[in-house]
Amino acid sequence: MKPTEQGMHCVIAEDVEIGRNVILGHHVIIHPHVIIEDNVVIGDGVILGKTPSKSKTSTLKTGDLMPLKIGQGTVVGAQVILYRGSTIGPESFIADQAVVRERCQLGTRVVIGQRSTVENDCQIGDYTKLQTAVYLTATTIVEDHVFIAPMVTTTNDPYVARTEARHAAMQGPIIHRGARIGGGAVLLPGVHIGQEALVAAGAVVTRDVPPYRLVMGVPARVVRQVPEEQWLFLPDGQPME
């Protein structure tokens, strides 16, 4: 199917599936192996289905990639780059200049903020919001209903690019359901941020954060419980009220 509406100077490969009522802006580039579901809106200057181009010294492996799939009703801002091999869930919002690399799985109604980067092999749950200029390192796991404030940094390499042991040890943070990360915080490799936990702005998290706890400082320490009126869910998973 052709886009219902399409701007000027677009480039659309032949091997692309486009649903009903899809709107493309100007200067959109769609590479092969892209599936766009119904009611999707794509902004100006967006690049869809990019294939990873490795540096000669990269240690990443890129096998055969599935198509990029963009779920129904999702809105993609301007100058965004979405790689082949990822799935963007329905009714999501990918803001201007964001980049989602290959083999990521994004759920329903996810928000990826402007200029944010989601590196390869990340998982992001339903209703999770990344704000502006968030950096999710490769293999980060973010569960449902998580909120990540602007300019948060994550890391995944406890050996900081040295020794062979690092390849086995590489793991991004695991951010559990309903957790919140404040602006400018830094999360070290593999830390767990517990359910409904809150990391204060500017904190550097060097070890696991227990559920329902507020941590702050460098390195981050537990200072108190998250007030119950800010919870979304009870520890047993039932929604509040």
195 binds a second copy (CB under 8 A): no
Any idea what the Cα angle at residue 181 is, between residues 121 and 226, rounded to 5°?
Answer: 130
Q: Using CB under 8 A, which residues numbered 210 to 239 contact a second copy?
A: 217-218, 229-230, 232
We find the least distance from the C-beta atom of residue 182 to a second copy, in angstroms, to be: 6
Q: Judged by CB under 8 A, does residue 47 bind a second copy?
A: yes
86 is an interface residue for a second copy by CB under 8 A: no
Instruction: Answer yes or no whether residue 91 interacts with a second copy by CB under 8 A.
Output: yes
Minimal distance, residue 171 CB to a second copy, in Å: 14
Between 2 and 56, whose beta carbon lies closer to a second copy? Answer: 56
Q: How far is the CB of 93 from a second copy (least distance, A)?
A: 3
CA distance 60 to 83: 15
Residues 100-159 that bind a second copy (CB under 8 A): 109, 111, 114-115, 117, 119, 127, 129, 132-133, 135, 137, 147, 149-151, 153-155, 157, 159
Structure tokens belonging to residue 78: 């301007």
Task: Give the whole-angstrom CA distance, residue 146 versus residue 125.
Answer: 8
* Residue 57 or 238 with smaller CB distance to a second copy: 57
What is the nearest approach in angstroms of a second copy to the Cβ of residue 237? Answer: 18
Min dist. Cβ of residue 227 to a second copy (A): 9
In whole angstroms, give the CA distance from residue 220 to residue 31.
Answer: 43
Closest to 191 measured CA to CA, from 21, 203, 183, 201: 203
Instruction: Fill in the amino acid letter for 153.
Output: T
Stretch touching a second copy by CB under 8 A, among 8-16, 32-40, 61-69, 169-177: 8-16
Phi-psi region of 158 (alpha: psi -120 to 50; beta: other; left: phi over 0): alpha
Q: Assign residue 151 a region: left if phi > 0, alpha if psi is -120 to 50, beta otherwise?
A: left
Answer yes or no whether residue 96 interacts with a second copy by CB under 8 A: yes
**Residue 228 carries which DSSP code?**
G
By CB under 8 A, residue 22 contacts a second copy: no
Closest-CA residue to 123 (of 138, 105, 98): 105
Per-residue tokens: 122: 């990340």
Q: Is 160 a residue that touches a second copy (CB under 8 A)? A: yes
Instruction: Examine residue 97 and tell whether it contacts a second copy (CB under 8 A).
Output: yes
Residue 32 touching a second copy (CB under 8 A): no
Euclidean distance between CA atoms 98 and 86, whole angstroms: 14
